[in-house]
Structure 1
């Protein structure tokens, strides 16, 4: 039995942060960082049956083309993904009455729709990148037993190439789910290796008033290759999403709308329109076949 301090429930027996009951979610879940993007996604639903919120976590569950879908805002950062993934799994696989793990496992399909910045000059603004791999600088996965799901050879090669500071968390590489990726990929989508940073400014090489520990770090990332793989883009959630999903037995894919190209110094003129196109694309792929 899970103690009250471990599985924390609200007075109405909903899970602590997400404020959801087990029946409130589908097994198809779209996660977005921006709270406002929840309504942007659910506006395409035929019907909406659930609208709940607490803090930055807003959830809509509805039906599109006969399929029940949940869309949930995570807020920004891998630390929030740690909350969201553990609580989604609890909703699906823990009995809140007995406080025990259910005998029958429910596997969730989790798709991130997010914004990202490219670090390769040939990735244009307003294009889409599917993270075949996520490369985490956040450290979240190191708090869990993660043997067998990370690519240590890639990490070691990267650490050597960029002269990685020992004061930073060891980076980890996790692959997206093969079956879910196959459902979402097409000739409109570029596959890539997405770096998950622990911040937006210094960790992504942005300098306003503070000096950077390694001013040349983004260039080093751009020039790194290992067994034909190169780093394509930067964001703040995908590695924790992939790592925790694999450990928990769920499927996860991250779809990135490229709204900036850091090498060229370009930014999208209409990011909302581009995100809308990625939302439409994702919903079409999830509800057909």
Structure 2
């Protein structure tokens, strides 16, 4: 089926609309970061950088590390941006831009998120790392796709009951990481967790400045949820969307989170840049040795 110009939107140079990238610009191993400035924090460790491109909040560097070709790309904040990034990355690998048709042989990406997050459990130390075994989405993104086959409804159903949301307007979805990719990159020295993904930074994450969140006990309820010893460890804004779209599109994805805040204790990292840099080097070492 030929895709219409309104569906597959290309720039005058033939690049994909938002990311401003051509198919040959990207590697099969992709690191995602939220902050555009963090792209260079990652690529500084590459042995060679062959390409730098940027448009809006989407900046990408492609290069090599220990002979392995890598792309690092910024997504901006939130699963609305994840929807753009994951779909357009997949289009670069899966669609022939000349014929505007889906290819028979498609590339399967390995997608590794390097992000920051706030812990919900008091025993999780500041500046430590969490690998998200599950992503729990409160944003609704996956309900716009045929996604039933990849969801874990028993976990989400129990969570809704725990929150008292059986008749509420939000139904969280639950998706799992790619265990093979996690084993390949390395998870021996890192805490596994269940990461909640929400649609905002303030009210949706239980923060109060001048507006009071409607659900005043949201964080404490998340923190006390337990499904067969699975507890929600941290809260952020991208992981569940990445896991869901990656699985639906046939790619592998994992998400590493640097814990900069602990919402239970009120602490925040004294040197966030140093902590994130340690996670970057930890991730690159795992990729380079895989």
TM-score, reference length from structure 2: 0.98
Aligned counterparts, 1:64-79, within 5 A: 64-79=65-80
How many residues are aligned here?
Answer: 289
Tell me the equivalent position of 2:214: 213
Tell me the equivalent position of 1:282: 283
| Aligned 8 A contact 1:130 1:185 in 2 | no
Tell me the equivalent position of 2:17: 16
Aligned counterparts, 1:240-259, within 5 A: 240-259=241-260
Which segments of 5 or more consecutive residues in structure 2 lack a partner in the other structure? Answer: none
The alignment partner of 2:149 has SS state of: coil
Q: What is the distance in 2 between the residues matched to 1:165 and 1:236?
A: 23
The alignment partner of 2:148 has SS state of: coil
Q: What is the distance in 1 between the residues matched to 2:93 and 2:256?
A: 23
What's the CA shift for 1:166? 4.5
Q: Deviations over 1:247-275 (max 9, x none)?
A: 00000000000000000000000011011
Q: What is the distance in 1 between the residues matched to 2:161 and 2:25?
A: 46
Q: What is the distance in 2 between the residues matched to 1:283 and 1:111?
A: 10
| Aligned 8 A contact 2:151 2:173 in 1 | yes
Aligned counterparts, 1:221-240, within 5 A: 221-240=222-241
Tell me the equivalent position of 2:270: 269
The alignment partner of 1:10 has SS state of: coil
Q: What is the distance in 2 between the residues matched to 1:74 and 1:108?
A: 16
| Aligned 8 A contact 2:62 2:69 in 1 | yes
What's the CA shift for 1:169? 2.8
| Aligned 8 A contact 2:130 2:259 in 1 | yes
Tell me the equivalent position of 2:29: 28
Segment drifting more, 177-186 vs 6-15: 177-186
What's the CA shift for 1:211? 1.5
Q: What is the distance in 1 between the residues matched to 2:13 and 2:106?
A: 24
Q: What is the distance in 1 between the residues matched to 2:165 and 2:40?
A: 40
Tell me the equivalent position of 2:42: 41
The alignment partner of 1:13 has SS state of: coil
Tell me the equivalent position of 2:55: 54
Question: Relative to structure 1, is the Cα distance of residues 35 and 7 closer, same or farther in structure 2, using a 3 angstrom cutoff?
Answer: same
Q: What is the distance in 2 between the residues matched to 1:41 and 1:98?
A: 35
The alignment partner of 2:53 has SS state of: strand
Q: What is the distance in 1 between the residues matched to 2:190 and 2:184?
A: 12
Q: What is the distance in 2 between the residues matched to 1:106 and 1:169?
A: 34
The alignment partner of 2:91 has SS state of: helix
Question: Relative to structure 1, is the Cα distance of residues 199 and 166 closer, same or farther in structure 2, using a 3 angstrom cutoff?
Answer: farther
Q: What is the distance in 1 between the residues matched to 2:160 and 2:166?
A: 8
TM-score, reference length from structure 1: 0.98
| Aligned 8 A contact 2:131 2:187 in 1 | no
Q: Deviations over 1:183-207 (max 9, x none)?
A: 2333321000000011000000001
The alignment partner of 1:148 has SS state of: helix
Tell me the equivalent position of 2:3: 2
**Aligned-residue CA RMSD in angstroms?**
0.9
Q: What is the distance in 2 between the residues matched to 1:50 and 1:264?
A: 42
What's the CA shift for 1:113? 0.2
